[in-house]
Amino acid sequence: MPDAQQPTPTDPAAAPKPRLPTDTEDGLLLIISGPSGVGKTTITRGVERAIPGSVFSVSATTRPKTAADVEGVDYHFVSDEEFERMVAEHEFLEWANVFGKKYGTPRAWVAEQLDRGRLVILEIDVEGAKQVKSKMPEAMGIFIMPPSEDVLLERLRSRKREGEEAIQRRFAEAKREITEAKVCGAYDHFLVNDDLHATIAEAVRLVEQRRGSGR
């Protein structure tokens, strides 16, 4: 019979990772969502810059890379085949199909950063936020609202990225998304982006309040 006192070998991959001097215990997953044209990306980047140690989760996507995109900064650009492999192997915390293009949040990287005590920021849509909150109810959700529907439509037009038909499609989707956000339970706060700097400051205040409360 084997010696009952003999230590059992352990899996090196399961061993806790060494702590770094910068590691803390107040890791928080922050979800920021909002319809197209509301300014959520600018707000997300503003929060990231304002809070030391925060990191922006870069999604994988099958959307074609544009001249303005930077690989690994804006997105990780992958093929449809690679994306489907990642879905099959449960490598995403959430994923969605948006206007025929797929977007997903890598699960392992997010978990590692939270263990390090980082503020991990996800800029995702409502469906993605619902998936994340169902798996990680402790995540904090902020939804960015336009001052009005008229302002949102004007912002979509002023970007001059698409024709009127595509703009109207995005506008209709934006209204649906706002309605869903209000009732789905994934968001703790709704901020109206009437003044960009004020909205960023309020988002930062809410995050710091949440982390300081220890909840």
Q: Band of the pLDDT at 20, cuts 50, 70, 90?
A: low
Give the model confidence (pLDDT) of 96-123 as tens digits.
888 799 999 999 889 999 999 999 999 9
> Average pLDDT in the 177-198 region?
96
pTM over cut 0.85: no
Task: Report CA dihedral (157, 158, 161, 166) to the nearest 10 degrees.
Answer: -10
Q: Which domains are assigned to the chain?
A: 26-213 (3.40.50.300)
1, pLDDT greater than 60: no
213, pLDDT greater than 80: no
Q: Please, what is the Cα angle at 109 between 59 and 128, to 5 degrees?
A: 45
Q: Is 71 helix (H, G, I), strand (E, B) or coil?
A: strand
> Average pLDDT in the 20-24 region?
58
Gap between the Cα atoms of 174 and 190, Å rounded: 15
Gap between the Cα atoms of 215 and 207, Å rounded: 11
- Cα separation values, 74 from 61, 71, 128, 197, Å: 10, 6, 17, 22
214, pLDDT greater than 70: no
Give the model confidence (pLDDT) of 30-81 as tens digits.
999 999 889 999 999 999 999 998 999 988 999 999 999 999 888 999 999 9
Q: φ and ψ at 163, to 5 degrees? A: -75, 170
Q: What is the structure's pLDDT at 22?
A: 54
